[in-house]
A and B are shown apart, each in its own frame.
Chain A
Amino acid sequence: MPDLPRSLVTVGAGQAAVAAVRMLRRRGFDGPVTVLSDEPHLPYQRPPLSKDFLTGESGSADLVLLDEAWAAANDVVLRPGSAAAAVAPGEVVLADGSRIDADAVLLATGVRARTLPGLAGERVLHLRTVADATRLRDALPAVERLAVVGGGLIGAEVASSARARGIDVTVLEAGQLPMLGQLGPGMAGFCADLARDHGVDLRCGQEIGSIEETADGVVIRTAAGPVAADLVVVAVGSVPNDELARAAGIATDPVRGGIVVDDACRTSAPGVFAAGDVATRAAGEGYLRIEHVDNATTQGGTVARALLGKPTPPAEAPWFWSDQYDLNLQFVGHAPADAEIVIRGSVTERDFTAFYLADGCVRAAFAVERGGDVPAARRLLALGTPVPREALADDDQDLFDLLDSITA
């Protein structure tokens, strides 16, 4: 058996890198660990950036994932403001030309916000970093009308935060419904209703033309007419930061980008791992890249286990959550096209779990204020055998009791 790595450098200081580093130290890895970030901050988390950070309910101090005290106590070297210029097995070269040797390298470089051609200017913002979020937050008090391009999770959360601040919001979504691909028509329709019921002017199926700056704002040209706003947030997805891997000849997804990894988060280069938003896994005939914080945390842990010589735990179904318009939304699994939906609870009261069935088997679940159903939903997903619909729909039937009766 080859020797286990004795040192680690992470390129990136987000959720995946932090999860890996924390688990390594917790499980007794005592070799040198260095965490590089190209941002001038301590390692921080992003989920609040579209939510409570924008509403002002939390601040930058609440974002910190690892502070200097923890790093000192755990013998981890934090190097903010240290962009990597190149990676190779055994070393990372920084932008200033210096080199760091390490038995193992973790590429946890995340993604950057995707931009749209023609949508740029002082009044057009994107949201990924704390600097972006700070700029947006500080601009909001002077904003009466906000336009959000993109009806995905970030767009919806920004819209929700802006509505909470009393700002008029127009959301421009390219698809027929927001989150249509992820949620299917029924639940995407629910999300559309949710936004509209909170005063959002949601316009779907919109092709964006150009944007013009006026004396006091912008005008976005769309096929259905102009949209005037004081500020625009473009939230149309992301581009993986896989350039270091490409330059090093490490395998990436040729179609959508992202660093290809196996079950243990190993890349095609020995001793080089990737995890989090930038990592992509073979799935069917293509690749699947998951951009949610839970995946980053899980994959960070997988890297730590690999470095410790421990087996990789079995993969779990993808899971994400979103807090918007005072509702907690969660999704686990993959919604099959033409899934049969079984509702547990009440859609009108916005307190339900929607189970997605294919051939009678649970493939996914969308929980609205019902995160308590998620642990059972994960087990239902893993069953792979048909589940009685009436039991799923019956709120008096405990889901764990149902599982026990099926697996008995």
Chain B
Amino acid sequence: MTDTDTTHWIATVRYADLARRRRTRVELGDRAVALFLVGDRVFAFDDVCVHKGRSLARGVVWQGRVVCPAHQWAFDPETGRAEGRDECQPVHDVRIVDGVVHVDPRPRSHEEI
């Protein structure tokens, strides 16, 4: 579990806006993060795909996974693991506070997953 006392949560978009569009790209300092709505939960990934560096944010949620638009790699939203492969897309913790999506700018480490 991430130590919430030391997590510097960054406020991004309103949950209601994300719920409408289902996905969006936000910038946390120098790191771009793609937010996706899967069901009614928000998941956050590094926007730059581990495969060939394309932007995940123009992808879609399909069959419960986040699909990168460039080569259709399908990522598990909980772990970032690419389906059928060894690669993992870095994922970030998300908190909804007062209707606003907050994201931990540090990706979750592998021990935490």
Name the segment of A77-85, A163-171, A208-216, A369-377 touching the other chain. Answer: A369-377
Distance to closest chain B CB from A326 (angstroms): 11
B84 touches A372 (CB 8 A): no
Cβ-based interface call for B54 (8 A): yes
Cβ-based interface call for B110 (8 A): no
Known A-B contacts A22-B84, A400-B60; the reply to A372 vs B69 at CB < 8 A is: yes
B60 touches A376 (CB 8 A): yes
The number of residues on chain B lying at the interface, defined by a beta carbon within 8 Å of a beta carbon of chain A, is 14
B54 touches A372 (CB 8 A): no
B71 touches A375 (CB 8 A): no
A371 touches B84 (CB 8 A): no
Cβ-based interface call for A29 (8 A): no
Mark interface residues in B41-74 (1 if CB within 8 Å of A CB, else 0): 0000000000010100011101000011111100
Contacts of B60 in A (CB 8 A): 372, 375-376, 400
Nearest A residue (CB) for B54: A328
A371 touches B62 (CB 8 A): no
State which size class the interface on A falls in: 20 to 34
Nearest B residue (CB) for A70: B86
Cβ-based interface call for A321 (8 A): yes
Interface residues in B31-49 by Cβ distance below 8 A to A read: none
Cβ-based interface call for A242 (8 A): no
A371 touches B58 (CB 8 A): yes
A375 touches B84 (CB 8 A): no
Contacts of A375 in B (CB 8 A): 60, 62, 67, 72
How far is B86's CA from A22's CA once the two chains are assembled, in angstroms?
11
Mark interface residues in A1-25 (1 if CB within 8 Å of B CB, else 0): 0000000000000000001001100
Contacts of B71 in A (CB 8 A): 321, 371
Interface residues in A269-302 by Cβ distance below 8 A to B read: 294, 297, 301
B52 touches A371 (CB 8 A): no
Contacts of A369 in B (CB 8 A): 58
Distance to closest chain A CB from B60 (angstroms): 5
Distance to closest chain A CB from B75 (angstroms): 13
How far is B84's CA from A353's CA once the two chains are assembled, in angstroms?
27
Cβ-based interface call for A323 (8 A): yes
How far is B95's CA from A156's CA once the two chains are assembled, in angstroms?
46
B70 touches A370 (CB 8 A): no
How far is B72's CA from A321's CA once the two chains are assembled, in angstroms?
10
Mark interface residues in A116-144 (1 if CB within 8 Å of B CB, else 0): 00000000000000000000000000000
How far is B71's CA from A398's CA once the two chains are assembled, in angstroms?
21
Known: A323-B52, A375-B72; 18 extra A-B contacts, CB below 8 A, are A19-B84, A52-B52, A294-B72, A321-B72, A328-B54, A369-B58, A370-B69, A371-B58, A371-B68, A371-B69, A371-B71, A371-B72, A372-B67, A372-B69, A374-B69, A375-B60, A375-B67, A376-B60
Chain A residues in the interface with B (C-beta under 8 A): 19, 22-23, 52, 294, 297, 301, 319, 321, 323, 328, 330, 369-372, 374-376, 398, 400
* Nearest 8 A/B pairs, CB to CB: A371-B69, A372-B69, A375-B62, A372-B58, A372-B60, A328-B70, A372-B59, A371-B70
